[in-house]
Structure 1
């Protein structure tokens, strides 16, 4: 382990946290050990779930923590009392907190599982800050965050993005490797946690039943948050988060569950309400995202100076049901229906309006499922994924057309979901090799979902789709570097996740130059 990384962990997680990571330990392991020994309250510190920040503006950022003395408590309330607990917070310009610039006190209440969302305001643009919390004699780990630059500033940005972290299918080492890149911003594009009960032959034990009730979702989020590698990634930089399906239930669509025969509509909406509440409680989101029953406004826009605008989309809550029974289908006429939408009309208008008003060098869509057309059936037949934008073709084509004909200077689509690395050029018209490109798409593989993966190049699918330039079936994340002249993307991979402490390497790199939506291999 490089000394600089250990020192950074010592700053962000505290000496004990750094030692636990270096030794392969975790809060969860200690909690399970103590539980096995019959202790009623296996962990005393209320800061077992770490700290996080998110949604940075030029003058403010969200600071998050959630108190839990027993993070694996079956009721999902983390062993906390049925009353409010006062929590103090501080923001400083140095990691030793000799220069505190903002501070205050709030209450962590049972109503929101003793989570805390502080919108720390009055900060300087483009500035690195450190933050921490305190309740009683207990002090949280230290987190590092950053405000967005002033609107007129270009500058540069290292941004990493990730998706699909199934606790039972591997170790979250990719989060640690991502944190070691010390990005200025991190995007998570969905499937932050999985709803399933423990399965056979899991790498790590998932606790609790399939998540249906609020207590189940709270417990599942808490188990994930005990992971030291995930805690490190949260403490390293501000996050922008959006969900996909597994934060609620596999392949749900608006008010429609995966299997209506098993989950009637009213029961699903109660489940959705519980999932949304727990998601808000466990993410560094602003008050504007607080759910109202089974509804939660998650799509939003965030500027990073004059360099980039991030349009964060929700492709689950407003979509029509998947066409032709879902899955990969051929000859599905339903997917061509003009009124079908994956965004809903209101979100589409919001996005297109943002395109027309853009003044950024790069317009970046943070979203969940494959945007570019991709024929998954080699040969004369065609097969498209109905869960992706291919199942909503007209909606996708309208947005691609708007990206190419609006004020957008450089369009970039970021995608998760499919547990593979992909890189593609977004076209106005697919099937025509010389069709004008309107943007590029970078698809990140999973953190763990799918386990270790393999080195199958999937050449048949690449040959079928000449606009798709890269594929790799390994776990990892994507690291990007935005500047005024170019965007560079590094597809980072790990050789294994079924064992801890895998190294990371770069499987491929591409450069996209200003005003030229072409993926140039490096």
Structure 2
């Protein structure tokens, strides 16, 4: 797979030589600082007088023959409109090469960054070779983007020796630095799974909270909660301005899904946490979903329609693994007894309740039935396994996680058994801690069959530094025999799959309140193919 990758950016104004059949990137055609009279007559390109690639580049959703390339043109990213015209489009040149120096150009062309999409690019490059590393970059006028590295998926019938993925979630900008993502960028990975809370909707003061900005305070605009499209667009610009996030996107293709904070904390379908009128909340959700699609490396076919966007989708890595990426927010029933930790009862245990919605649940179960992969991996948001907070027979459970929807979870587990899935892996986030847990047939019976394993990845920054052993560390491990590991520090997980076993390397940082903290592997757990269940390695 090659070694680690450090993104490289050509010098501004550099002329890049490419084979004659593709032409040469030109450095001419722009004038700086136009007068007001000139600007009224200018095209979008002529109005561009500063580097538009302030938010980096990204790739995502790799298939055997294609991958999505993304960038957003934002010369002034912290202003509404990002310093570009409110209508029209900019032509963006792009190149895809088989080497980082772009001496061996594979594909090139021109695509559009329309104002209606906030000048974002979602380029689906097809005709690529399976399981192949490529480098890409963009250009507008005399400005060249950072260089990104991506990789296509293996062919559907390929016998894949092994794959390595990063598991990441929960990056609250004002609660710490994204140091974990700098380390993630240096990992040797096929791709990254991001499972929610890419942004947070809360107000952020001029000091950016825990980041304690003093020399360069943030604009006052960020000091209010996100409600409309401009709010959400600017919040993504703030997050994507972080160099560590840019590095992680440039180094690996990402598969993304959302959780709640991309819209509002703990929302459920059309129900807001504060029970806003449905039409008001759906308008907010429409703005949030639109900004999410604009800022993620997703295909144009996933563009939302108002407050609706189908985000669940399936990917295969040869015969080795099938990845089912879920959306457990848009279609769920409202939380029972509120959205906190409550005792279960008739409301939460109602068999009609769902976390996925009927259509997505049927899609997931049909996917299990049709799968020919050795490993079936469910990539989703909230903790799947039961988590009691007391050793008593009856305990409070999280109504926002699968514990608040036990009938929905049971239907999934029944589908796993009916389909004969032997190697189930669930990847989750949300709770800002690391967990390694066995998925039990009956969580009331520790001796019941183990149907799979769950890896819950901690946050990038949400929750500040965290601690190795939170206050409930002993209690949770005692109350949940299927829980093999629990750590409250910040970090990410590297998940490896091969023909014999699945391995989870839990990476942690010493802290995120100051940048540059080192990373370490705090624990390693494995589950053998055909004999699910975690053991320390």
Contact kept? 2:72, 2:120, Cα under 8 Å: yes
Partner residue in 2 for 1:347: 360
Residue 143 of structure 2, aligned match among 138, 143, 148: 138
Residue 177 of structure 2, aligned match among 171, 194, 208: 171
Partner residue in 2 for 1:62: 68
Task: Map 1:294-309 onto structure 2 (within 5 A).
Answer: 294-309=307-322
Contact kept? 1:403, 1:439, Cα under 8 Å: no
Contact kept? 2:173, 2:199, Cα under 8 Å: yes
Partner residue in 1 for 2:131: 126
Partner residue in 2 for 1:472: 487
Contact kept? 1:288, 1:297, Cα under 8 Å: no
Per-residue CA deviations over 1:451-486 (Å, capped at 9, x if unaligned) read 001122501111111011110000000011111111
Contact kept? 2:198, 2:262, Cα under 8 Å: yes
Confirm or deny that 1:419 pairs with 2:432.
yes
Q: Structure 2: where are the runs of 5+ without partners?
A: 13-46
Instruction: Please state how far the C-alpha of 1:155 moved relative to its aligned partner.
Output: 2.0
Instruction: Please state how far the C-alpha of 1:44 moved relative to its aligned partner.
Output: 1.7
After TM superposition, where is structure 1 displaced by more than 3 Å over at least 4 residues in a row? 13-16, 378-381
CA RMSD, Structure 1 to Structure 2 (Å): 1.7
Instruction: Please state how far the C-alpha of 1:331 moved relative to its aligned partner.
Output: 4.0
Partner residue in 2 for 1:193: 199
Partner residue in 1 for 2:503: 488
Confirm or deny that 1:243 pairs with 2:243.
no
Partner residue in 1 for 2:38: none
1:43 & 1:274 partners in 2: Cα distance? Answer: 29
Partner residue in 1 for 2:247: 232
SS in 2 for 1:442: strand
Instruction: Please state how far the C-alpha of 1:520 moved relative to its aligned partner.
Output: 1.3
1:87 & 1:407 partners in 2: Cα distance? Answer: 48
Residue 168 of structure 2, aligned match among 142, 150, 162: 162
Confirm or deny that 1:310 pairs with 2:323.
yes
Contact kept? 2:170, 2:460, Cα under 8 Å: yes
Confirm or deny that 1:284 pairs with 2:297.
yes
Instruction: Please state how far the C-alpha of 1:380 moved relative to its aligned partner.
Output: 4.5
Partner residue in 1 for 2:82: 78
2:52 & 2:259 partners in 1: Cα distance? Answer: 29
Partner residue in 1 for 2:209: 202
2:308 & 2:252 partners in 1: Cα distance? Answer: 28
Contact kept? 2:7, 2:250, Cα under 8 Å: no
CA 1:344–1:49: 2 relative to 1, 3 Å: same
TM-score, normalised via structure 2 length = 0.88
2:523 & 2:348 partners in 1: Cα distance? Answer: 33
Q: Which moved more, 1:307-316 or 1:322-331?
A: 322-331
Per-residue CA deviations over 1:369-396 (Å, capped at 9, x if unaligned) read 0101111234344110000001110110
Instruction: Please state how far the C-alpha of 1:294 moved relative to its aligned partner.
Output: 0.6
Contact kept? 1:46, 1:69, Cα under 8 Å: yes
Partner residue in 2 for 1:401: 414
SS in 1 for 2:484: strand
2:231 & 2:48 partners in 1: Cα distance? Answer: 20
Residue 228 of structure 2, aligned match among 213, 217, 221: 213
SS in 1 for 2:531: coil
SS in 1 for 2:373: coil
2:69 & 2:528 partners in 1: Cα distance? Answer: 35
SS in 2 for 1:65: strand
Residue 387 of structure 1, aligned match among 362, 382, 400: 400
Partner residue in 2 for 1:45: 51
CA 1:15–1:203: 2 relative to 1, 3 Å: farther
Q: Which has the larger radius of gyration?
A: 2
Instruction: Please state how far the C-alpha of 1:324 moved relative to its aligned partner.
Output: 0.8
1:380 & 1:157 partners in 2: Cα distance? Answer: 40
Contact kept? 2:167, 2:193, Cα under 8 Å: yes
Q: Which moved more, 1:396-405 or 1:193-202?
A: 193-202
Instruction: Please state how far the C-alpha of 1:43 moved relative to its aligned partner.
Output: 8.7
Instruction: Please state how far the C-alpha of 1:182 moved relative to its aligned partner.
Output: 2.6
2:372 & 2:287 partners in 1: Cα distance? Answer: 38
